[in-house]
A = this chain, B = another copy of it.
């Protein structure tokens, strides 16, 4: 049988697609090999092991998210920037639930730093620069913002808000609105 041209990159991208289709948990070396019509052992020349594969998918998702966030933030400030950033995460999670789950994969500190981890927190800080917060408060706000976004997105994704009025979109708008008010109030304090 000829070679079909596996590469780490193709595996990772296919893994990301698989994650969106069947869930990040179900992304397995076996399933991936099956998808490429190849024997499992063949993957091990391209990824170290199963954990490595998942970590790479996580890094891919984080990069994609950071790219989207960077575009969304360009030319925006204040509440506009806040909602743009928050929407990036929420939209990404709805379009790519498996990848979003992947982005929550617990990476080692080195992996996270080498990857897009830093870009994400810098963008959060950039958004918050639009609200005049003092040093420690800025960190509190970064943490709050991260918590609200991740918390909302993951509860919504898990189906926590489904089949109940009002529409989750309304709650989302209300939440971002509240967050904006809150941050402005804190700044003015």
Binding site for B on A (CB under 8 A): 104, 106, 136-137, 139-140, 143-144, 146-152, 154-155, 158-161, 164-166, 168, 170-171, 174-175, 178, 181-182, 185-186
Choose one: B147, B154, B164; the contact of A148 (CB below 8 Å).
B147
CB-CB under 8 A from A155, the residues of chain B are 143, 146-147, 150
CB-CB under 8 A from A174, the residues of chain B are 137, 140, 144
Q: Is the interface of A mostly helix, strand, loop or mixed?
A: helix
Q: How far is the CB of A41 from chain B (nearest CB, A)?
A: 24
Q: List 21 A-B contacts (CB under 8 A).
A: A137-B174, A139-B164, A139-B165, A139-B166, A143-B152, A143-B161, A144-B148, A144-B152, A144-B171, A144-B178, A146-B151, A146-B160, A147-B151, A147-B155, A148-B151, A150-B155, A151-B152, A151-B154, A178-B186, A181-B182, A185-B185
Give 6 nearest A-B pairs by CB, closest first: A151-B151, A147-B151, A147-B152, A140-B174, A140-B171, A150-B151
Whether A182 contacts B178 by the Cβ 8 Å rule is: yes
The residue of chain B having its C-beta at the shortest distance from the C-beta of A104 within the complex is B158
CB-CB under 8 A from A185, the residues of chain B are 181, 185
Given contacts A136-B170, A151-B154, A152-B151, contact A144 B182 (CB under 8 A): no
CB-CB under 8 A from A146, the residues of chain B are 151, 155, 160
CB-CB under 8 A from A154, the residues of chain B are 150-151, 154
Q: Which of A140, A159, A164 has the most CB of B within 10 A?
A: A140
The residue of chain B having its C-beta at the shortest distance from the C-beta of A149 within the complex is B151
Q: How far is the CB of A125 from chain B (nearest CB, A)?
A: 13
CB-CB under 8 A from A170, the residues of chain B are 136, 140
Task: Give Cα A161 to B109, complex, Å.
Answer: 12
Whether A148 contacts B148 by the Cβ 8 Å rule is: yes
